[in-house]
Amino acid sequence: MSSRKQLANAIRALSMDGVQQANSGHPGAPMGMADIAEVLWRDHLNHNPQNPEWADRDRFVLSNGHGSMLIYSLLHLSGYDLSIDDLKQFRQLHSKTPGHPEYGYAPGVETTTGPLGQGITNGVGMALAEKALAAQFNRDGHDIVDHYTYVFMGDGCLMEGISHEACSLAGTLGLGKLIAFWDDNGISIDGEVEGWFTDNTQQRFESYGWHVISVDGHDAEAINAAIEAAKAETSKPSIICCKTIIGFGSPNKAGSHDCHGAPLGHDEIAAAREFLGWNHDPFEIPSDIYAQWDAKEVGAAKQASWEEKLAAYEAAYPELAAEFKRRMAGDLPAEFEEKANAYIQELQANPASIASRKASQNALEAFGKLLPEFMGGSADLAPSNLTMWSGSKALTADDASGNYIHYGVREFGMTAIINGIALHGGFVPYGATFLMFMEYARNAMRMSALMKVQNIQVYTHDSIGLGEDGPTHQPVEQIASLRLTPNMSTWRPCDQVESAVAWKFAIERKNGPTSLIFSRQNLAQQPRDEAQLANVAKGGYILKDCAGKPELILIATGSEVELAIEAHAQLTAAGHQVRVVSLPSTDVFDAQDAAYREEVLPSDVTARIAIEAGIADYWYKYVGFDGRIIGMTTFGESAPADELFKMFGFTVENVVSTAKDLLA
């Protein structure tokens, strides 16, 4: 048996053994793709196992993440800090080898995959970031950004609609350093896919403008030639369609769904060892196999060669080199904090009643001039989301030096692409759509929260205030669902000042996504003193107070803060002690110390009313079951916004009436 085949068999053996030991997992894909992986990782992938964060490394994404033993085997064999004991702990509590590849658990895992289609979409984002960064920083004779993004994917990734969104855009943008490998084995969990998946994948990708190659996925020479051809095509992304046998090497289960998502069993593994000529005990890899796989020395040399290029670049372009290092480190410009705070102070001193979506655009204008790393975009709603500013320049296939991506009507694809851009590094990425259509993108935002990566989403048209477009476009339950997502920060500002504070928070937050919720309608600016202005960043604060201890607290966000302020005036005139709390970000407020939370919402003041044009149930945690909530309990209707607000009780009269009833 050839040396190459034995090197690939090391992957097959580790994958069989890991799944069997866990009594859970997917051995079929790793066994079927082992030959492809061996050629790619040993002959083409530029990486350094001793420094998984090397800026110019090639990115590798296992989009069919259920086959996670494939990537764990590759990382272990090539010399990453992932031991054989780690492989033995596959799918066990607190191990570095969870059931699907998880970002941050094992070195060398570039993104969390498992929800099918999102890995290839993250890969599109990584390739897009590489192309944009190269256009911004490379100079003649100095290609300091020059790497590939490789993606493995299966039939499931191609069936998921998000792959269409992402791969269509990748072709349009000419991402020539994106190379995907389709594991064409004809099998999914339910059996042979010809009963439900008969697309002509080659023609599909040709229609996207991709370079399409078809090979025998078990022929190392053919695979190598295909990769060389893909790398030679620089104007188009490439897909290498690899005809494979799932579970290759398993005499009785290969080629069937029996090896897709279950251990092979001890007897079948023994038969597979004999079939493959792999005469070694479980988890045993011969020293000569390890030696041929070990990429530490070669990887260190590749990084050292790049560092020489970077040094020459630094000598020729010192300012650009410093900027490149800053951005890849994820540091904000030194002056950002001071200038952002000055802008917020200026807004407070110059009141304006504008829609918070317009306030968002004004913040982009102010902050964009400070942040060359901004990479914006919208899902075909830029004129409505107001996500472009004077420095926005569209990124195109012919000119990737821009900082704005027209994503088209691709909310899910946009959001997962932004995850890839964030994971690549060098950018502060944001996208936008109507709040209602975050529903299409929910799982990608969940993944950014799970991975704790920066993904800023601008969600405009935030309530029934959208009006005539009707309930299909009017969000009701969406804000609550965002707030309930762990590690998601959600802001619904009440005016231009809170909007700017929210943007500053999102830009500075590097360990998770932020949802910024903005209105279509104009919002009156609220007066604040210096202490109140400083407390906006705490997520919740006393906006309007009474002379003594409050007998009633009104809690509001966004457009409903105005109602609370007006109701405060009427209730105060009637002799009541009332406090208004603006709560633009419940998660940020909840993270404050107990003393501050008690100062804002004293526990002995139980008469509380929450006012928000969103689902009512969320607010019980702040008002208790004895409090009142003026919120939505149904979907909206199609009518002018003023009529809808009145119909659903978002009026000063209703707030005052509810307050008097509660106090009585």
The residues annotated with a catalytic role in the active site are 411
Alpha-carbon gap, residue 47 to 57, rounded angstroms: 5
Residue 316 CB neighbours (<10 A): 13
Alpha-carbon gap, residue 404 to 132, rounded angstroms: 10
Residue 495 CB neighbours (<10 A): 29
How does strand 404-406 pair with strand 211-216? unpaired
Amino acid (1-letter code) at residue 97: T
DSSP 3-state percent helix, strand, coil across the chain (nearest 5): 50, 15, 40
Q: Which two tokens stand for residue 284?
A: 């045993």
Write the CB contacts of 575 (distance below 8 Å, at least 6 apart in sequence).
none
Write the CB contacts of 254 (distance below 8 Å, at least 6 apart in sequence).
31, 245, 246, 247, 248
Q: What is the 3-state secondary structure (H, E, C) of 336-381?
A: HHHHHHHHHHHHHHCCCCEEHHHHHHHHHHHHHCCCCCEEEEECCC
Alpha-carbon gap, residue 319 to 100, rounded angstroms: 41
Q: Give the H or E element holding residue 612.
A: strand 608-615
Residue 591 CB neighbours (<10 A): 12
Q: Beta strands of 343-485 (E only): which ranges?
A: 354-355, 374-378, 404-406, 428-434, 456-460
Q: Which two tokens stand for residue 461?
A: 């048209």
For residue 326, count CB atoms less than 10 angstroms from its CB and return exposed for 0-12, middle for 13-18, buried for 19 or more: middle
Q: Return the sign of the alpha-carbon dihedral for residues 29, 30, 32, 36.
A: positive
Alpha-carbon gap, residue 226 to 232, rounded angstroms: 10
CA torsion angle 316 319 320 325 (round to 10): 110
Q: CA gyration radius for the chain? A: 28
Residue 93 CB neighbours (<10 A): 6
